[in-house]
Amino acid sequence: MFKVKDRQNSCVEPFEFLPAKSGEVYALGEALTYTDKVTKCAATAKPTHICMGPGDGNVVPVMPVLATTRFEVPYDAKPTAGTAVTLGTAGLSVTATTTSGVFTITDVDEANGTACGYFR
């Protein structure tokens, strides 16, 4: 689950309610992409939004992904600080895979199994 760690500005990203892809269910903190409808993010795609709560089947509450926002997220395999890694298959974690990475790791907390970073 992607959680906001900190921001490089004093503004908070606004929540939006965007149309959901038919048949998809989204989890809090899940990475999503949006063109005409919100959909689950592929491992090597940069998400445009993060799910901020349950949808009603028609719309889903989201926040936009900005370069000024740093996220904390669990990892599937321990990544290395300074590398750009891919997303986990469910869009709720990151991997240690650096090929086509979209999430740049700034630091790793082994005790909690989390990494912090931003989408590039």
How many degrees, rounded to 5, is the angle at CA 61 between CA 58 and CA 67? 135
- Residue 90 neighbours by CB distance under 10 Å: 14
**Distance between CA 62 and CA 37 in Å, rounded?**
12
**Distance between CA 49 and CA 41 in Å, rounded?**
9
pLDDT at 57: 81
Tokens in use for 17?
Answer: 């309610």
Q: What is the pTM of this model?
A: 0.90
Q: What is the DSSP string of 13-75?
A: PPPEEEEBPTT----TT-EEEESSSEEEPPTTSPPSEEE-S---SSEEEEEE--TTEEEEEEB
pLDDT at 4: 86
pLDDT tens track for 16-58: 999 999 889 999 999 999 999 999 999 999 999 999 998 888 9
Q: Is the pLDDT of residue 9 over 80?
A: no
**Distance between CA 58 and CA 104 in Å, rounded?**
32
**Distance between CA 102 and CA 21 in Å, rounded?**
23
